[in-house]
A and B are shown apart, each in its own frame.
Chain A
């Protein structure tokens, strides 16, 4: 069953389509080109322009020499060819010297790639992958087989990601393994946290897998089975956070490396069919009422649990995920609060309920707590 969208949402979609079709006006390209070619440096930069004008010829010469030298060095340092089948190779490859798009295929032995100070990933035998982004956010596309990675913790999250078809596994400083098994993606997390999400849309929530958890996902990244300390949330990934899944979660034993998870109900990011028409999300007023209760509760917990004569304050972003049935699914504090405050808050927040909706909702409020 297709869920009917609200008229406002359809209006927004229609406007987006109209804007996409709306052409940019034609500019006088010839005039602009003439201006650019005649006066390539901006007029506001006169001092530096005259300085650089004097240096232009020598600088151009230096650039040309540097370019030639770069080409010579690059050629002599033998960057990997576009297609490479690696055989037994104990020494790690220098990932920083891999040309973008270089396809790596491991032979009978694992192939290790190291990006100094950032990440080290191992392509398991007969697996194939290639680097699609070597910049600040390293991205490896896994075509077949399995890949294990250890990522150096970085204050900036998601500095390393593995893509398998439409699924993206993004990392927050961790050790994990990704395997493509036929039309599924299996992810095992040994340390830290990874987010599994569709790489092309933003409408579905991400699955957060933490230490000793595993998941088996469809290639589009929208649905999957999760086992252990995992949940489906939309998070901002802005840094440290404390996440509490309020729904009953399975215990988190260390999963065997190559066994698929037992059959479990599929966790779907798609809205479920409803017998009665429901709003897509709880109304704003309902959300604000809930927020107001949550803020009062948080203040009370902070006051009760912080025993000191000094003035204390704390800032955190409180993220609540509400399920379609109106119950609270998860609570996230970023950065985390003292355990006692969190326990007190979570205990009270459990009682909050919202109106039922098709999709549920996730929202965040910045709180400043003080006593």
Chain B
């Protein structure tokens, strides 16, 4: 089931400016009006409005931050940084794009700035694994294996360049279309598509080096072989 990213997107898209006129559902219209009003109140320094923006969007921001960094240990600080930036910058939000696009852009920028700063600091090896594996010893085997696979996949994402990882996360995990991703990262759509192509190809290459994930591919190969009863050629298996 892929409901997790969808819930966030549907919620955000309810606030989309272009839905204001096209959507005749009163409830949704109400939500749009509320958001516009909230943003205006935030601009005017209304603390309660900012609190509401925080409560409405904190889960979505946390999810995106986790996917961009793969480090649950940094999550708390980064989400707080994002909302500090929202607080500082909301006056610059002119409503020329969706609020969700603006918030995505801001979140991605905060994460990338943090990563750049972190490069100049010593890295604690295995921090990502520890964070994912801290309280997993009591999990059933399948859940434990899944958690390890997720941690392994985040390690691969971590090896990619910032630009490729950002577009991959926004498109493949958050479900944004390339044109939406283009608006978030400020690049032409064709550039986004090219980055997605190479990000995917790079990940396919890296999968082979990651034992926890190579296992998945091997499992799928075995499944396919048992289904077809055929032996794969060398070309297909590499």
Contacts and interface: CB of A to CB of B under 8 A. Distances in A.
Contacts of B44: 60, 63-64, 67
Contact of B75 (A14, A20, A24, A134): A24
B45 A63 contact: yes
A133 B217 contact: no
B34 interface: no
B80 interface: yes
A346 to B, nearest CB: 22
Interface string B12-24: 0000111111100
Interface in A291-312: none
Contact of B87 (A18, A36, A237): A36
Contacts of A21: 1-2, 4
Interface in B37-83: 40, 43-45, 47, 50-51, 54-55, 58-59, 62-63, 65-67, 72, 75-76, 79-81, 83
A136 B179 CA distance: 13
Interface in B152-177: 153-154, 171-173, 177
Query: Taking chain A's interface residues, is the majority helix, strand, or loop, or is none over half, making it mixed?
Result: mixed
Given A25-B75, A156-B188, A170-B189, A199 B178 contact: yes
B167 to A, nearest CB: 9
Contacts of B153: 15, 18-19
A116 to B, nearest CB: 15
A23 to B, nearest CB: 7
Which of under 10, 10 to 19, 20 to 34, or 35 or more describes the interface residues of A?
A: 35 or more
Contact of A202 (B5, B18, B196): B196
B30 interface: no
A168 B189 contact: yes
A101 B17 contact: yes
A237 B91 contact: no
B28 interface: no
Nearest to A31: B76
A8 B2 contact: no
A42 B224 CA distance: 54
Interface in A13-53: 14-25, 27-29, 32-33, 35-37, 40-42
Contact of A238 (B43, B177, B188): B188
Interface in B171-227: 171-173, 177-179, 182-183, 186, 188-194, 196-197, 200, 203-205, 207-208, 213, 216-218, 220-221, 224
Contacts of B192: 202
7 contacts: A8-B208, A15-B216, A42-B81, A100-B96, A237-B189, A283-B238, A364-B194
Interface of A: 4, 6-12, 14-25, 27-29, 32-33, 35-37, 40-42, 60, 63-64, 67, 82-83, 99-103, 130-137, 139, 141, 156-158, 161, 163, 168, 170, 195, 197, 199-202, 206, 234-238, 277, 279, 283-284, 362, 364
Given A21-B4, A130-B22, 5 more contacts: A11-B216, A29-B58, A100-B17, A199-B177, A238-B188
